Amino acid sequence: MAYEMCKRCGKFFGRNGRSYCEDCFKKTEREHDLIIEHIRKHPDATILDIITATGVTLKSINCLVEDGYVSYIDNKIKKLDKEEISRAIDKIIDTKSKFHIRRSL
């Protein structure tokens, strides 16, 4: 059986076609729903708003960004349509440095 290292917790797990172990996958799915729900209700939410309101960690948001579920836009996060995802990847790379600066505030 092939093993992979979980992108979130670093544990090794049996390959399942995903980047996360089973536990982290469930957690990520749940947090994804929370974030999307929050963005729907508050389209102008900042990353900080989302973290405060949902209890989702910065790390989780980063994972969702890496997976193309959401994208940073000027310190905000927004849900993407499928067609937007490839274009958004460039944007994510651009805004990552901004994000790190914000984090150290």
Binding site for Zn ion (CB under 5 A): 6, 8-9, 11, 21, 24
Q: Give the nearer residue to Zn ion in terms of CB position, either 11 or 96.
A: 11
Calpha distance 31→87 (Å, rounded): 24
Nearest in space to 100 (alpha carbons), one of 71, 75, 70 = 75
Least spacing, CB of residue 63 vs Zn ion, in Å: 10
Classify 105 as helix, strand or coil.
coil
Least spacing, CB of residue 36 vs Zn ion, in Å: 21
Least spacing, CB of residue 3 vs Zn ion, in Å: 12
Calpha distance 73→47 (Å, rounded): 10
Q: Give the nearer residue to Zn ion in terms of CB position, either 5 or 73.
A: 5
